[in-house]
Amino acid sequence: MVNQFDFRLLATDGLARRGQMTTPHGIVQTPAFMPVGTQGAVKGMSVRDLRENGAEIILANTYHLYLRPGDRLIARRGGLHRFIGWNGPILTDSGGYQAFSLGPRRRITEDGVCFRSHLDGSEHLLTPELAVDIQARLGSDVAMVLDECLGYPAAEDEARRSMARTLRWAARSHDRLLSLRSRTADHETDVDPTPVVINPGQAQFGIVQGSVYPNLRRESADATRAMDFDAYAIGGLSVGEPTDVMYEAVAATAALLPVDRPRYLMGTGTPLDLVECVARGIDLFDCVLPTRNARNGQLFTRRGPLNIKNARYAEDDRPIDEECGCYTCRRHSRAYLRHLFLAKEINASTLNTLHNLHFYLDTLVRIRDAIVFGSFESLKKTLHQSYSLRLLAHDADD
């Protein structure tokens, strides 16, 4: 029984949207945050932890899984859901962002991205078609098209050329998916019996590029919409630009996207970024911040971030966040968590990650409730009081 991909708008408060995204593996309440499971695992979190924290969808990285253990191996295991033991919705990125991040180890041509593996130096050409095929074999619920992700700043002519290429790649990606969908089982030959399409209900999202140039963003949005993707993402942000520039680009681009499809802001952000971008009409987020920072000892609380390494917590018997209901806060003190962190115990990573993800997912719960009850502006103000732009320098007890 395959659910068709679908999105319903349930309520709005200003530009903020409360919705429901249906995927072949279940429903996602939006706005939603997707924990990042790069290699098919959210670092430090079991599937049960994710469920108990309220995660409804996770993200996995095509680049990493393609190189190891390989998309064909995963397809032979029945697809990514079965392989990793998570039967809820999964979104996979296209692999483009990681490939671009390789710097001198990659070269971009009209064909695709030529790169050397970070694992063994082997050469690979990731084309838009291959990115579609890999994700078809992974069987994620949402596949992203291959796009070119520019850094910041980028000159306008460079941004235009890159945006135009992303559009041509989007068309190729769309064509490839249609061709895969029409394939029959006889394409799975004895020579390579790897299944081609694991998840027939897989959706495909287009990605709007154009750096920080409103005219390019408009051109990209119009042309991408014309291809009629299941939904649209905003790419090329959170790449080093000032926050106000990002917020402006998000607002301008979100306004160009159809109201009846989810809008996904890729790779963002701080708790403040989430609420500010929901305020500009974004429905989906992913970011390594809560998980990575947890491993580095930065913990998010309702009063702002705190760094558990800090000597002031050595004899602090309070939980990380007195209002938090997560397992870590119900069970352990700051003093103990500081000890685990300084002692380099694995448990520091797992307990901190559990808390930070709970904070993020709970923030989204509060955002969704606020939209329904018309109190979104007031929630936004509350979050502003705790989370300034000085995120990394600030401490909850300062």
User: Which are the catalytic amino acids?
Assistant: 93, 286
> E strands along 266-365, which residues?
284-286, 298-301, 304-307
- The residue among 154 and 326 lying less far from a copy of itself, judged by its C-beta, is 326
357 contributes a contact to a copy of itself by CB under 8 A: no
Residue 341 near a copy of itself by CB under 8 A: no
Reference 174, options 220, 240, 230, 219; nearest CA is 230
Angle between helices 214-226 and 243-254 (to 10 degrees): 40
Stretch that binds a copy of itself, among 150-158, 196-204, 341-349, 368-376 (CB under 8 A): 341-349
Contact between 332 and a copy of itself by CB under 8 A: the answer reads yes
Q: Is 120 in the site for a copy of itself (CB under 8 A)?
A: no
Q: How far is 324 from 266, CA to CA, in rounded Å?
A: 27
CA 326 to CA 359: how far, in whole Å? 8
CA distance 267 to 296: 19
Cα–Cα distance for residue pair 155/250, rounded to 1 Å: 19
Residues 6+ apart with CB under 8 A from 195: 75, 76, 79, 137, 188
CB nearer to a copy of itself: pick between 67 and 180: 67
Q: How many residues bind a copy of itself (CB under 8 A)?
A: 38
- Could you say whether residue 136 binds a copy of itself (CB under 8 A)? no
- Strand pairing report for 284-286 and 263-265: parallel
Residues within window 16-55 making contact with a copy of itself, judged by CB under 8 A: 39-41, 43-48
Write the CA distances from 394 to 268, 303, 391, integer angstroms: 19, 11, 5
Q: Which stretch binds a copy of itself (CB under 8 A): 90-98, 192-200, 220-228, 326-334?
A: 326-334
346 binds a copy of itself, rule: CB under 8 A: yes
Q: Least separation, in Å, of the C-beta of 353 and a copy of itself?
A: 9
Interactions with a copy of itself, residue window 60-89 (CB under 8 A): 64, 68-69, 73, 76-77, 83-85
What angle separates helix 346-373 from helix 334-342, to the nearest 10 degrees?
130
Under rule CB under 8 A, residue 372 binds a copy of itself: no
Residue ranges in contact with a copy of itself by CB under 8 A:
39-41, 43-48, 64, 68-69, 73, 76-77, 83-85, 314-315, 317, 327, 331-333, 335-336, 338-340, 342-343, 345-347, 349-351
